[in-house]
Amino acid sequence: VFPKAGFQRCVVHLVRNTWPKVRASRRQELCDDLKRLYRRGQTKEQAEAILNELAAKWHTAYPGLLDPWTACFEHWSAFLEYPEWLQPHIYTTNWLERLNKELRKFAKTKNSFPSPDSVANLMYLKLLDTERSWSKRKLHGYVQHSDELLALWEVYDTKNRTKTKGEASM
């Protein structure tokens, strides 16, 4: 549906899946170390160097603790390719999960649905209502950076453009 969309794994969920594996007395230290990984304004190369450093540090006490971070590095660090002002808005998927939770909560209150189409129609109406309320929100920095964002999408579109059947024959 969205062939040019990037993939970003939720950093918050990686942290939540990692810290329970460590003794309570060392959890704050681990969280402080992990925050260094997804700090705003750094490059992917810097994050990878920090990840290697942390993996070596924690390997003695907790072997394999940071393996999930290493295995999916490209997926959780994708937000670092974007401008610093945009990074805090895209490093987590909590807003998407919130939407899914709203849809589930809405559907749960209904006793039954006469057909699959009725479910689709109801979800569509709920999404319209949610979009109306969310569209009033302001993305901090968007107005100041709107030209930069449009240019960024144009560069991303050009970089990731694939030939369609019509283009291939021309």
Over the stretch 40-89, which tens digit does the pLDDT of each residue have?
778 999 999 999 999 999 999 999 999 999 999 999 999 998 888 888 88
> pLDDT per residue over 6-21, tens digit each?
788 989 999 999 999 9
pLDDT at residue 170 is higher than 70: no
Residue 124's SS3 state is helix
Tokens 């050009």 found at: 158
Residue type, 146: S
Give 146's pLDDT tier (boundaries 50, 70, 90): confident
Choice between 158 and 103, residue whose per-residue pLDDT is larger: 103
End-to-end CA distance of the chain: 24
Angle (nearest 5°) at CA 32 between 26 and 36: 140
What pLDDT, on a 0 to 100 scale, did the predictor assign at position 159?
A: 60
Q: What is the pLDDT of residue 161?
A: 54
